[in-house]
Amino acid sequence: MEKPIFVLNGPNLNLSGSREPEIYGTDTLTDIEAACAEKIAQLSRTFVFRQTNHEGVLIDWLQEGRVQASGILLNAGGLTHSSIALYDCLKSIIIPVVEIHLSNPLRRESFRHQSYVGMAATGTIAGFGLHSYLLGIEALHIKLTHKR
């Protein structure tokens, strides 16, 4: 049986839909998970969807994904710009990792322009709201299917 795709979400993403909707949109994390479930089912894959506000928990899940997932979709939230520990963990992962963001960090404050996640990820998709997740799933599917 094929390993699932891990969809991992970091700090404050549980507030999606109500936190700064002019930046992050109005879709809740439940809406995002439902859209991911639909997209992944269309691709005949399975997934694990999780959110935490704790850096260590996110690192534990990434380490779990190293062996239990086929690929990882990661929205690390604010940890993207601050966590060298997350970067170090991601460097140990050999399966594809796609960094995603609801907003486009490059159109925001300058401190958001640095991405420790992006420095270790296979690729990055940002600025498309909920669709960043769907595009990320599609990118992972292509990467896993075509192995190039």
Task: Report CA 124 to chain centroid distance, whole Å.
Answer: 9
Alpha-carbon span 119 to 99, nearest angstrom: 10
Contact 69, 6 (CB under 8 A): yes
pLDDT at 3: 96
pLDDT at 109: 66
54 has binding-site annotation: no
Name the residue with higher pLDDT: 81 or 147.
81
Q: Closest Cα partner for 11 from 59, 64, 43?
A: 59
The residue segments making up the domain with residue 57 are 5-146
The CATH number of the domain where 138 resides is what?
Answer: 3.40.50.9100
Number of domains in the chain: 1
pTM of the predicted model, to two decimals? Answer: 0.93
In the predicted model, is pLDDT for residue 116 greater than 70? yes
Q: What confidence category does residue 63 fall into, taking pLDDT thresholds of 50, 70 and 90? A: very high
Active-site residue identified among 87, 101, 116, 133: 101
Which residue type is seen at 67? V
| Torsion 76-72-25-115 (CA) sign | positive
75 has binding-site annotation: yes
Torsion angle of the four alpha carbons 28, 33, 36, 38, in this order, in degrees rounded to the nearest 10: -100
Name the residue with higher pLDDT: 7 or 16.
7
pLDDT at 46: 96
107 has binding-site annotation: no
| Torsion 99-104-81-120 (CA) sign | positive
| Torsion 113-110-54-41 (CA) sign | negative
81 has binding-site annotation: yes
Mean pLDDT calculated for residue range 44-60? 97
> Is 101 a known active-site residue?
yes
In the predicted model, is pLDDT for residue 107 greater than 90? no
In the predicted model, is pLDDT for residue 148 greater than 60? no
Active-site residue identified among 24, 87, 116, 133: 24
pLDDT at 140: 96
Q: What angle do CA 146, 147, 148 make, to 5 degrees?
A: 95
Q: What is the pLDDT of residues 74-99, one digit of tens each?
A: 999 889 988 999 999 999 999 999 99
> Is 24 a known active-site residue?
yes
